[in-house]
Amino acid sequence: MLKPRGGSVRPTHPGVRFLGVLLLAACAPPPLPSHGAPGQPLPGLPPDLLARFDAGRALFDIEVGEAAGLGPTFNQRRCSSCHDVPTLGGGGVEPILKSTRWVDGRCDPLVHQGGDNIQTRATAALQAAGGRGETRPDDATHTTDLTAPALYGLGVVEAIPESAILAGADPDDADHDGISGRVGRTSDGALARFGRKATHATLRSFIEEALLQEMGLTTPAHPRELTINGTPPPPEADPAPDPEYGPAQIDLLEDYVRLLALPGPGEPGPERAASVERGRDVFEAVGCTGCHTPHFTTSDSAPPPLQRREVALYSDLLLHDLGPGWAGICSDSAAPTEVRTAPLAGLRHRPILSLDGRSPTLEDVIARHGGEAAASIRAYDALGSDARNALLSFLRSL
């Protein structure tokens, strides 16, 4: 649950408190919406930011050649190869391959065997030098076909105050509801709200890593090419000088991703509206909101275009143990069965469900929830068919 934010006015008498609420309501403007159709920018942006958004989108869609730094090993030639459904900036259907080793309660990303992210393709220059793409590291205990999520609304997600995310965490399950919820942390201790396994604190760090891991593009933060299953690539396979992408290009990609709108709910039409409304209540009653937090508001101190925006996300951005059905790769933050709650905003636009794409339908993905979600799924299983259909109508409206 979200705690109310501390303000300077703390009246105690109920009448004074009521007056205080009225005054606050009169002074504080309501949060701005973040909604837009998939692929569109946030509503209400000034022309200079719209121009940045367009330029960033073009770079996101550009095919990078070997002369510009692609490879020597890589997975795709452009960001949009994996993030293009239903529009640029969306999700993808072709997974990437990730492998890790989980031993003695610790995650080993197998850096000495090429790292957790497997680059399966090799540039022509690398092939000419006798090299090939990477294969699964021998010591891996888990391998996951990781699907690419949509990037819609990630700027407003970044602007959610840390205090609001921390308020939902309950690592020791102090309230005994069976749901704990931990924040992920990066190796330097920052709150990791991004990544399906809660691996990154900022969009910029995610983007820089995507450039290196998916396309083989070095940046100031990652100035050296990756190894090929642990062996450095031959110099003749890597002709472009490092860093291959500089701050100007990273800034543009970051602005594009940050300014993407969050898809809003659909218009169900008069005959389904009542069912969707009922489904929203069922969603809460069976405890889905224990992890799929419906609302956040972005911070007052976020950059101006992202300030005080409403974020109807349906995720608490925390890690939960979902049980053996979800066992897969680990991360610094997350054990094999722990996953960050998937936001449900924009669900109806998704071509594929769950981080490994192994749940073909909504019913499958719900039934697969176990671990901390067990009580909620028991309540879902006990629903009559009308309530269950209403819940599904609600989910399909998101």
Residue reference for tokens 């009922």: 278
Smallest separation, CB 15 to ligand HEC (Å): 39
Least Å distance, CB 138 to ligand HEC, is 22
Q: Least separation, in Å, of the C-beta of 368 and ligand HEC?
A: 8
Report in angstroms how near the CB of residue 20 gets to ligand HEC at its nearest: 34
Q: Which is nearer to ligand HEC, 238 or 372 (CB)?
A: 372
Q: Which residues contact 170 (CB under 8 A, 6 or more apart)?
A: 177, 179, 180, 181
Residue 309 burial (CB count, 10 A)? 26
Q: Tokens for 290?
A: 């224990």
Q: Smaller CB distance to ligand HEC: residue 214 or 225?
A: 214
Tell me how far, at minimum, the Cβ of 175 lies from ligand HEC, in Å: 13
Q: How near is the Cβ of 328 to ligand HEC at its closest, in Å?
A: 9
Number of neighbouring beta carbons within 10 Å of residue 398? 22
Does residue 147 contact residue 252 with C-beta atoms inside 8 Å?
no
Question: Is the C-alpha dihedral spanning 246, 216, 60, 96 positive or negative?
Answer: negative
Identify which of 369, 372, 352, 364 has the alpha carbon closest to the alpha carbon of residue 392.
364
Q: How far is CA 225 from CA 77, 212, 240, 262, in A?
A: 16, 8, 11, 34
Interface residue list for ligand HEC (CB under 6 A): 75-76, 79, 81-83, 96, 146-149, 151, 154, 179, 194-197, 199, 203, 206-207, 210-211, 214-215, 253, 257, 286-288, 290-292, 320, 322, 339, 341-342, 344, 350, 353-355, 362, 365-366, 369, 372-373, 376-377, 380, 395
Nearer to ligand HEC by Cβ, of 179 and 311: the residue is 179
Minimum distance of ligand HEC from residue 361's CB (angstroms): 10
When the beta carbons of 126 and 342 are compared against ligand HEC, the nearer one is: 342
Closest approach of ligand HEC to the CB of residue 292, in Å:
6
By beta-carbon proximity to ligand HEC, the closer residue of 280 and 350 is 350
Q: Taking Cα atoms as reference points, which of 26, 4, 24, 34 lies closest to residue 312?
A: 34
Q: Which is nearer to ligand HEC, 11 or 220 (CB)?
A: 220
Structure tokens at 270: 């008069």
Cβ–Cβ < 8 Å for 146, 287: no
The two tokens of residue 364 are 């499958």
In the chain, the N- to C-terminal Cα span, in Å, equals 21
Residue with Cβ nearer ligand HEC (293 or 299): 293
- With contact defined as beta carbons under 8 Å apart, do 156 and 306 qualify? yes
Give the amino acid at 202. T
CB nearer to ligand HEC: pick between 126 and 148: 148
Amino acid symbol at 160: I
CB-nearer residue toward ligand HEC: 20 or 191 = 191
Q: What is the dihedral of CA 209, 140, 191, 256, to 10 degrees?
A: 30
Q: How far is the CB of 354 from ligand HEC (least distance, A)?
A: 4
Q: For residue 114, which amino acid is it?
A: G
